[in-house]
Amino acid sequence: MKIACIITTLMMPVILLAQKHTPLPHGMTFGQQVNSRQNIPAANVEAFMGKKTRISTTLTGKVLKVDHPKGGWFRMDAGNGKIIRVHFKDYNITIPTALKGRTVMIEGVAQKEFIADDMQHFAGDTVKGKKQHQVKTNPRQRLTFEATGLMVEE
CATH numbers and ranges of domains, the chain: 26-152 (2.40.50.140)
Q: H-helix or E-strand containing 105? A: strand 103-114
pLDDT at 38: 82
**What are the tens digits of pLDDT across the range 50-88?**
888 899 999 999 999 999 999 899 999 988 888 999 999
3-class secondary structure, 21: coil
* Best CA proximity match to 23, nearest among 100, 81, 92: 100
* Best CA proximity match to 147, nearest among 83, 96, 95: 95
pLDDT at 142: 82
Distance, CA of 24 to CA of 69 (rounded, Å): 15
pLDDT at 35: 86
Q: Do residues 30 and 93 make contact, with C-beta atoms less than 8 angstroms apart?
A: yes
Q: What is the pTM of this model?
A: 0.70
For β-strands 39-41 and 54-68, DSSP reports them as parallel
Q: Do residues 78 and 43 make contact, with C-beta atoms less than 8 angstroms apart?
A: yes
Residue ranges in the chain whose pLDDT is less than 70: 11-23, 115-140
pLDDT at 108: 94
From residue 72, alpha-carbon distances to 4, 52, 101 in Å are 45, 25, 15
